[in-house]
Structure 1
């Protein structure tokens, strides 16, 4: 059972010389305790903390009288016999004692802690596996927003006002859920506490009898990355877990969608070239309708929403409709897929520039200048270009790019079924024809020579991931 104790201004004693003693002393000082360390040969960290006035350092061997009057004693020594003796002295003085890495000698264990201001998360293993507790702590540390402490203080600031105006029970729980999971909480986490306070005051001043404090809805346009769910940003994952409605594209990997809140409404709105799908105007309508009803909407897009994702159009439509809209970027396919295929998009010896281009253009399109794309020190990354490979090849060669220019077609990039096809520009149509129905990215330029697939001499090479295949012509 985890118990939180208040050590503010209370006397604490740490016995030991080394890193473990320094770590526990630091933990106690951060908790507000008046810390004394007794050590014969203190480590540099302990000396530095003493010089800074964070603790009192006594350089001698410990004695039974050191235990008297302490709120807690931490024993951090190497020798088992000495540890047992010090623990016995502490217990004789009726003081709680913890012996580091010796649960059998300890009256309590010190959990691994994650701190965000006044908010603390403790992870304990009962002394069975402290290293595992530290590993879990690191995972939680990475998942919790840095400004969660600010949100905690924000809630404390308005706690009395909420208690005075909103009835206890369901109404109050709904209000705090809306604060922490909705626009107000997002504004605090983003550093806009003034805007959050303005909305909080308006929320509190609504009639207390309202049962469902819905508040204004919000739309988050979120990048889902190229496929691998571990490439999703922490903010994107948090928004998915708080969403009431998720509108997702066909390119979003199902494993990413699995991270959404279980009871969220999931609406597929994907469009594939040459196949029926939900029109853009209908997507706009769905987002506006859900947000107008007070729901938290995530518009989940593959890659990055602002790179050939129509995210800019959707933001403009929502803003004109008076809907609060926010953007969360994702790793775009050019970055994620190229990295997964081992292709550096820039390299001091091969390419000094990168051009991102959509393949959904027609021959003779005046908006695209092939000559501008054909520089010798430039990498060209083509999105959605599989069906346009023949025309793209002709246009680039006509613009001066050599037929021997290295190219790669990355199919299902970053996913378990990724395939990398490499060859020369003249063979790009044949390479593209090898791919299946999954998303593909075309990379054109000298940097492709650095890919493991380019260096391979046979389709089956030892350095390729076992679940992924490569081919070269």
Structure 2
């Protein structure tokens, strides 16, 4: 992050603008909207700036800049064509520890003006740090188009009631839950349609709602790694969570989408390390939910595909805790797609079978005769540790030694690595892959070289 976004209160603050041309006028107009006291230094004023002076909205204090004018000045904008003067102003402001912006010269700016979307009191500021102004304009257009004009009225009414709501709901979590429910309700629609009285009446009734602190457990599938594969519903839930229990396999990009003030607890498991047990995870989920918190269990891929999601919602059901499940793109589907391997191409495969490389705790034994049917693609989750044993079993029960295989490490991420080989080469090639890894067995693997598209 090259710039830290800040919102400054400029009301009645002394702002110094050097220059009074068209560019300076644009900056002055923006400053006046924030109720700043604008002092101008310039040899002459353009007609627009002169109009502001005549209307007594600004003060013209001098034709020449002198550092004495910086006394009690909050920030400075230099909008002149004199490069030497601009450099001097930049240096002096830095010496005085005053924010300065030399217009159209990013290297001489201690702050920059963002692109602003104004739905006062809601303000959205966008910036590319000067790197891509056209992209920034396109983003602003998209955001402008989806934000209702009356959105600011929603915030204004909420602001008027904030003190009363705080007095009514002493518990912070109750207050937050109240506002979350209100802003998702018809309250907002009333305001956007101009029915403010109806909105206020609805707000008054909502104050007396009960069960604001009823806890909930939500299982969310994060997908195989690429944060762009997280579902829209998954993103919404992450933004509402009070606490998130996540696995080691969740990428940092996905974790960055969690609401900033939500508590995060890593409950992942890693081979060879002391790990939290599933029973302990279940107990933690229930304990947090019973405190009235919205608890998100964030899992790689899909919660119900080798994710032990069934065990977690069973525990929630027994504890009479409300729960939801937000599906995710399971690793087999996501990683195969990013590897250019169509799992059920009809020329090579009649179907696909998903199994896990981990041994079952319930004594289930794989039906190797079915798994060795060459007309099916076989996808093995967490297969690297048991890859040698799996290979031997498949060959023993009839799969050809020359069956194509793909081992994909860190799939869908910028570190994705795909190695293609034969079933009897598995012991050799697994050493070249960094976990987590997915193993695909079948003729469809041959399409990788033809269809690969995700280049890292």
> TM-score category by the smaller chain?
0.5 to 0.7
* Aligned match of 1:26: none
- When residues 112 and 430 of structure 1 are mapped into structure 2, their CA distance, relative to the original with a 3 A threshold, is same
Q: Deviations over 1:415-445 (max 9, x none)?
A: 1111111100111122222222x21000000
Q: Map 1:18-167 onto structure 2 (within 5 A).
A: 135-136=139-140, 138=142, 167=164
Partner of 1:255: 253
2:18 is matched with: none
For residues 174-197 of structure 1, give each alpha carbon's deviation from its aligned partner in whole angstroms, at most 9, with x where no partner exists: 7674146469959x9xxxxxxxxx
**Residue 338 of structure 2 contacts residue 454 of structure 2 at CA under 8 Å; is this kept in 1?**
no
The answer (yes or no) to whether the contact 2:178–2:212 under 8 Å persists in 1 is no
> Is the 1:358–1:384 Cα contact (8 Å) retained in structure 2?
yes
Partner of 2:307: 309
Q: For the residues of structure 2 that align with 1:422 and 1:130, how far apart are their CA atoms?
A: 42
Task: Tell me how far 1:239 sits from its aligned partner.
Answer: 1.2
Look up the SS of the partner of 1:285 in the other structure. Answer: helix
Report the counterpart of residue 296 of structure 1 in structure 2. 294
Q: Tell me, what secondary structure is at the counterpart of 1:242? A: coil
Q: Do the aligned residues in 1 keep the contact of 2:166 with 2:175 (CA within 8 Å)?
A: no
CA drift of 1:287 comes to: 0.9
SS state at 1:451 partner:
helix
**Per-residue deviation at 1:201?**
11
Q: How far apart in 2 are the matches of 1:328 and 1:298?
A: 10
Cα distance in structure 1, aligned partners of 2:441 and 2:381: 12
Alpha carbons of structure 1 residues 123 and 267: separation in structure 2 relative to 1, 3 Å: closer
Report how far residue 170 of structure 1 moved: 5.3
**What is the root-mean-square deviation of aligned Cα atoms in Å?**
4.3
Residue-pair matches, total: 314
Q: What per-residue deviation string (whole Å, max 9, x for no partner) do you get for residues 322-359 of structure 1?
A: 11111001111101111111111111211120100001
The TM-score with structure 1 as length reference comes to: 0.57
> Structure 2: which 5+ residue stretches go unaligned?
1-115, 128-132, 188-202
Could you list the per-position Cα deviations for residues 382-419 of structure 1 after superposition, in whole angstroms to 9, with x for gaps in the alignment? 00110111110111111211010000000000111111
Within-5 A mapping of 1:328-343: 328-343=326-341
Secondary structure of the residue aligned to 1:316 is helix
> 1:402, 1:206 → 2: CA distance?
65
Q: Note the C-alpha offset of 1:452.
A: 2.1
Question: Which residue of 2 is the match for residue 352 of structure 1?
Answer: 350
Q: SS at 1:361's partner residue? A: coil
Matched, 1:441 2:410: no
Runs of 4+ in structure 1 displaced over 6 angstroms?
120-125, 139-142, 200-203
Contact 2:218 2:297 in 1 (8 A): yes
SS at 1:386 equivalent: coil
CA contact (8 A) 1:448 1:454 kept: no
Name the SS for the 2:342 alignment partner.
coil
Alignment of 1:9-20 (within 5 A): none
**How far apart, CA to CA, are the structure 2 residues paired with 1:379 and 1:345?**
6
Counterpart residue number, 1:178: 177
Give 1:275 deviation, angstroms.
1.8
CA distance in 1 between counterparts of 2:437 and 2:173 reads: 44
Give the SS at the match of 1:327: strand
Q: Deviations over 1:72-112 (max 9, x none)?
A: xxxxxxxxxxxxxxxxxxxxxxxxxxxxxxxxxxxxxxx99
Cα contact 2:241–2:295 (8 A) shared by 1: yes
**CA–CA distance in 1 between the matches of 2:134 and 2:420?**
48
Q: 1:201 to 1:280 in 2, by over 3 A?
A: farther
CA distance in 1, matches of 2:412, 2:219: 22
Q: Which residue of 2 aligns with 1:269?
A: 267
* TM-superposition CA deviations, 1:87-138 (whole Å, max 9, x none): xxxxxxxxxxxxxxxxxxxxxxxx999xxxxxx999999xxx9996664565
What is residue 94 of structure 2 aligned with on the other side?
A: none
Q: 1:366, CA displacement in angstroms?
A: 5.0
**Shift of residue 238 of structure 1?**
1.5
- Aligned pairs for 1:185-204 (under 5 A) are 204=207
SS of equivalent to 1:385: coil
Distance 1:272 1:123, change over 3 A: closer
Distance 1:393 1:130 in 2: 53
Instruction: State the partner residue of 2:367.
Output: 369
Show the counterpart of 1:404.
402
- Checking the alignment, whether the CA contact within 8 Å between 1:343 and 1:451 is kept in structure 2 is yes
Q: How does 1:447-458 map to 2 (within 5 A)?
A: 447-452=444-449
Q: Deviations over 1:359-389 (max 9, x none)?
A: 1127xx6531011112222111100110111
Residue aligning to 2:68: none
CA drift of 1:242 comes to 1.6
The C-alpha deviation readout for 1:288-309, integer Å capped at 9, x for no partner, is: 1111111111111111000000
